[in-house]
Amino acid sequence: MSDILYVNGGTPLHGTITVRGAKNFVSKAMVASLLGETPSRLSNVPLIRDVEVVSGLLDLHGVAVHYDTAAGVLDLDPSNVETAHVADIDAHAGSSRIPILLCGPLLHRLGEAFIPDLGGCAIGDRPINYHLDILRQFGAVVDKRAGGIHLRAPRRLQGTKISLPYPSVGATEQLLLTAVRAEGITELSGAAIEPEIMDLIAVLQKMGAIISVDTDRVIRIEGVERLVGYHHRALGDRIEAASWASAALATGGDIMVKGATQPEMMTFLNTFRKVGGQFDVLDDGIRFWHPGDKLNSIVLETDVHPGFMTDWQQPLVVALTQASGLSIVHETVYENRFGFTNSLTKMGATIQVYKECLGGAACRFGQRNFNHSAVISGPTPLRAADITVPDLRGGFSHLIASLAAQGRSTVRGIDLIDRGYEFFQDKLAALGADVERGCS
Ligand code: EPU
């Protein structure tokens, strides 16, 4: 059974919506609570499926989780942490990648951890080799078994010196969550420095960790014996905010996104302005709108922070189908993040994908078999279609395309969007969209 959204498109979105805490921070802060000896409280937590999945995983490990969904407050008490059954972890994790990040905290607390097989996904292979190398370097014994990977810490994990071949967000988080309670000093070079990572460092510091961040992607951690719980308000979701901004641009609308913040969105805002969108930074959020003029084509390359986020790319590409001329987008974070353009082409967009690194420096996917550059020719009117959501952000792009298109579209598999977009259907209704949910 798949959830469907019927969308009567062609109406500009107008109105105000609110974004709460960042999906890609909240789940990590929840995991960090495992490291404390006392309860933690996280606020500004969105009601999304990823939060439910991580709550379930923590619950399986003996963490008492209480979530006041209306207030967005999550209380996490790790006093009774215990080893969970492998089959339960496997059944509960679904497609979530969070079990990998439980490893460091569980190795400290219990001396062992288990990661179910995670597999690839629609946007790329998403290997975990950096994570396993990091855990090995701390002294963990990694044992690949049927159904997953078992890890053991024969003695207290030891601080170490590590250099990442690529500034991976997850691997940097893995290192932080492991190093804070390891014995001695850990130094990471080539670290990811996304705002969500900085907020995780803020949480860990509140818990008693000693972490310094240099300007050259070097992070140093002095391990401590014990950590306590934290009280923290999650930073806002800059991916969701940019998704609504792109929806305003693609539909010719005007959306006030409460909870959007300028410092974390600087790079997006520059690009949004270059395309021809307008915005106003206000005390409680950012208003994004289409001024009614022609939109401009651009050359864009995704990158790690402070570059243009890969997760902003998919929604913005829909707006680029309405820009005049040829836009070039070079995706350098994931090897396979243009699959979603097939549906846009079906809806009338002119998009060609290439294996070459177009419009920027050569990246690690060049000369390999990955369609990771796209050329978008516009403006092209979009027409309604029957389409299926491929992944979370690609799914939101499909939603934007169907809102911009004339006619009634059928968007299948939209339950995937519930993973990361809180109350998106209510928000669409508040913005004047004509949508109806069904299932088949
Ligand atoms: N990589 C490896 N080996 C590893 C880990 C990563 O080769 O062991 C590669 C990946 O294959 C990818 C690149 O490094 O090509 C970057 O991956 P990264 O580890 O930075 O990504 P992640 O931690 O798995 C998080 C977000 C993603 C977001 C990326 C980049 C979460 C739960 N996910 O993933 O968010 O795209 O960082 O910012 O935090 C989303 O929200 O839809 C989403 C996919």
User: Closest Cα to atom 5, ligand 1: which residue?
Assistant: 128
Q: Where are the alpha helices (DSSP H) in 180-309?
A: 195-207, 238-251, 266-275
d(CA 431, CA 92) in angstroms, rounded, equals: 34
Q: Which residue has the tokens 């089959």?
A: 87
Report CA(369)–ligand 1 centroid distance (Å).
20
d(CA 138, CA 128) in angstroms, rounded, equals: 16
Report CA(439)–ligand 1 centroid distance (Å).
31
Best of 333, 340, 416 to mutate for ligand 1, by most ligand atoms within 8 A of CB?
333
DSSP conformation letters of 21-46: B-HHHHHHHHHHGGGBSS-EEEES--
Helix (H) or strand (E) holding 131, with range, is helix 129-137
d(CA 340, CA 387) in angstroms, rounded, equals: 10
d(CA 102, CA 267) in angstroms, rounded, equals: 31
- CA nearest neighbour of 107 among 67, 66, 136: 136
> Two tokens at 129?
């080799």
Cβ neighbours around 154 below 10 Å, total = 9
Among the atoms of ligand 1, which is closest to the Cα of residue 168? 20
User: Closest Cα to atom 30, ligand 1: which residue?
Assistant: 169
Per-residue pLDDT of the chain (440 residues; tens, 9 = 90+): 679 999 999 999 999 999 999 999 999 999 999 999 999 999 999 999 999 999 999 999 999 999 999 999 999 999 988 777 766 777 777 667 888 999 999 999 999 998 888 765 677 778 899 999 999 999 999 998 888 899 999 999 999 999 999 999 999 999 999 999 999 999 999 999 999 999 999 999 999 999 999 989 999 999 999 999 999 999 999 999 999 999 999 999 999 999 999 999 999 999 999 999 999 999 999 999 999 999 999 999 999 999 999 999 999 999 999 999 999 999 999 999 999 999 999 999 999 999 999 988 899 999 899 999 999 999 999 999 999 999 999 999 999 999 999 999 999 999 999 999 999 999 999 999 999 998 87
Give percent of the chain with pLDDT exceeding 70. Answer: 98
> Two tokens at 429?
């209704």
Instruction: Work out whether strand 64-68 and strand 73-77 pair parallel, antiparallel, or are unpaired.
Output: antiparallel
Among the atoms of ligand 1, which is closest to the Cα of residue 123? 44
d(CA 196, CA 25) in angstroms, rounded, equals: 5
Residue 326: strand pairing partners: 377
Among the atoms of ligand 1, which is closest to the Cα of residue 173? 23
Contact 145, 357 (CB under 8 A): no
d(CA 362, CA 330) in angstroms, rounded, equals: 10
170 Cβ below 6 A of ligand 1: yes
Amino acid at 210: I
116 Cβ below 6 A of ligand 1: no
- Which of 121, 357, 363, 439 is catalytic? The answer is 121
Q: Where are the alpha helices (DSSP H) in 162-309?
A: 169-179, 195-207, 238-251, 266-275
- Largest separation between any pair of C-alpha atoms in the chain: 65
Please name each of the domains of the chain with its CATH number.
Answer: 3-19+236-439 (3.65.10.10), 23-233 (3.65.10.10)
Is 121 assigned a catalytic role? yes
Contact 409, 7 (CB under 8 A): yes
Among the atoms of ligand 1, which is closest to the Cα of residue 192? 20
> Which residues, 6+ apart, have CB-to-CB distance to 136 below 8 Å?
142
Amino acid at 91: A
Q: CA 195, 200, 206, 211 torsion: positive or negative?
A: negative
Report CA(423)–ligand 1 centroid distance (Å).
24
At residue 124, the pLDDT reads 78
CA dihedral 52, 53, 56, 61 (to 10 degrees): -140
310 Cβ below 6 A of ligand 1: yes
d(CA 177, CA 217) in angstroms, rounded, equals: 17
Residue 306 exposure: Cα atoms within 13 Å on the Cβ side: 10
At residue 120, the pLDDT reads 56
Best of 27, 31, 126, 128 to mutate for ligand 1, by most ligand atoms within 8 A of CB?
126
> Which residues, 6+ apart, have CB-to-CB distance to 80 below 8 Å?
62, 63, 64
Among the atoms of ligand 1, which is closest to the Cα of residue 27? 32
311 Cβ below 6 A of ligand 1: yes
Contact 205, 211 (CB under 8 A): yes
At residue 310, the pLDDT reads 98
Report CA(127)–ligand 1 centroid distance (Å).
9
46 Cβ below 6 A of ligand 1: no
**Can you count the helices (H) and strands (E) in the chain?**
13, 24
Instruction: Work out whether strand 323-330 and strand 373-378 pair parallel, antiparallel, or are unpaired.
Output: antiparallel
128 Cβ below 6 A of ligand 1: yes
